[in-house]
Amino acid sequence: MCGVVGIVSHQPVNQALYDALTVLQHRGQDAAGIVTWGADGLQQHKRNGLVRDVFRTRHMMRLTGNVGIGHIRYPTAGGARSAEAQPFYVNSPYGICLGHNGNLTNHDELAEMLIHQDRRHLSTSSDSEVLLNVFAHEMQVRANGQPTAEQVFETVEAVHRRCRGGYAVVAMIVGVGVVAFRDPNGIRPLVLGEKRSEHGTEYMVASESVALDVLQFSRLRDVQPGETVFIENSGKLHSRQQQGEVRHTPCIFEFVYFARPDSILDDLSVYKTRLRMGEQLAGKIVRDFPEHDIDVVIPIPDTSRTAAVQVAHHLGVKYREGFIKNRYIGRTFIMPGQAERAKSVRHKLNAIDLEFRGKNVLLVDDSIVRGTTSRQIIKLAREAGARRVYFASAAPPVRHPNVYGIDMPAASELIANGRSVEEIQALIGADKLIYQDLHGLIRSVRHGNSPIEEFDTSCFSGEYVTGDVTDEYLHDLESRRNDVAKRLRDARHKGIIGVEEAEPERQSTAIGL
């Protein structure tokens, strides 16, 4: 999962881009980058690390210009090298920079075509670089002097025809403007905002509406599935909806875990969604555990708080904060290795004995993915003196890989894959485990008069909305993206081991790219 932002303004955008990336930091902690354009030409700074660590005063002073894009990432298709920090850049045609949130399911096919047919060079294993080169090639085909809005729209239509998967893109055509678009399923989020001032109208696109709020941009609307938004450097806004088939199926896991509760995605309030998840979960607990002896409901900070409050309210039991979180530790789920995730739990959370000792506690979390965190937290609760520890997940069992940009693709690393609820309960050490139903989750997210009829629920249901995900693809993904493969890749990039020892089955592809 990544975060993207783009701004076209009448004043310098460096600080605004920095502030937006800081607000979106929860979407990725691996790397950050900003590219700007102005009288001094193209300016860029990016590298691995948190936003606050990547950008110093000397970097910000060099990022001049009134137009720019930014990106924060954690590694999904690519690795964790600084070379894969975004935005990426190609100098032909015009000069194009691009930041991408999502994942292309036909990455390998596109890479081969780009190298052997389009005659373009790829220097990383990132699908974002592939997407950039597809965009650049299609624009090159249509290049005829200064690019027009029509040429931009035709270029993105061609990208949609070639690319499959989930993607939300913000690109900057140097000296021309900013382009933003979503895949035809609208799997990954992207919102559009504006700010009116005495100097004129400024426009901003970002992964979540909270970035607009912080910078005092008014939220206009979501960029629609298959839609292209083109903002000229002058501030003129153009948009066009894709002519082909559009099927709006946003990722439901955005609402479960990734998005901030104060964001609005696809006209749906994330906060209200999580309130409703708590209500639905409370109903499931009453049905599955009617004679419960729960003394207190305790959330696993931070994402599950909203749901946990509602669970406690509807069960008629106390709600308490039983864990204190160290704010300076990253989000456990998006850490790149299993060992790092396990180690970080005790560094991140500390139990308040007073809230556990001698009590039957219900711990509420937003979801259970690998199970490492859940197991460690239950152990912390028992060590704090809890008599019984029950565990409830506000989301259904995560049994299948996510292939659209969330870093949990290896089925073997999902604790629910191939296991019953009772088996998972035993593995995490809970006295009872209760999961939300999928239909209950969907009811929670689809509130109000939302026109959205379905969501991408692939990690729960195994049904992939793009229709191109085969068993062979999932098997290949498993071999590339499990934790062992990632550690070997990182070691190879650091020069600890050679290519042959790290990934023998991928050696030829790596060299070819």
Q: Which residues are catalytic?
A: 2
DSSP assignment of 403-445: -SS-S---GGG-TTTT--HHHHHHHHT-SEEEE--HHHHHHHH
Tokens of 430: 């809970």
**Residue 45: beta bridge partners?**
34
How many other C-beta atoms are found inside a 10 Å radius of the C-beta of residue 223?
A: 23
- List Cα–Cα distances, 351 to 22, 76, 348, 433, 454, in angstroms: 28, 32, 10, 20, 39
- List Cα–Cα distances, 219 to 50, 213, 215, 423, in angstroms: 26, 8, 11, 45
Which element (helix H / strand E) includes 50? none
Closest CA to 32 of 69, 77, 78: 69
Phi, psi of 315 (to 5 degrees): -85, -15
Could you say which DSSP state residue 257 is in?
Answer: I
- List Cα–Cα distances, 175 to 10, 38, 39, 134, 250, in angstroms: 14, 8, 10, 20, 33
Which element (helix H / strand E) includes 261? none
**CA dihedral angle for residue 183, residue 184, residue 189, residue 190, rounded to 10 degrees:** 80
**CA dihedral angle for residue 362, residue 363, residue 367, residue 369, rounded to 10 degrees:** -110
Phi, psi of 193 (to 5 degrees): -135, 165
**CA dihedral angle for residue 407, residue 335, residue 213, residue 57, rounded to 10 degrees:** -130
Tokens of 118: 């389009």
**CA dihedral angle for residue 85, residue 498, residue 486, residue 419, rounded to 10 degrees:** 160
Q: H helices within 38-185, ranges in order? A: 51-54, 57-62, 107-116, 127-142, 149-162
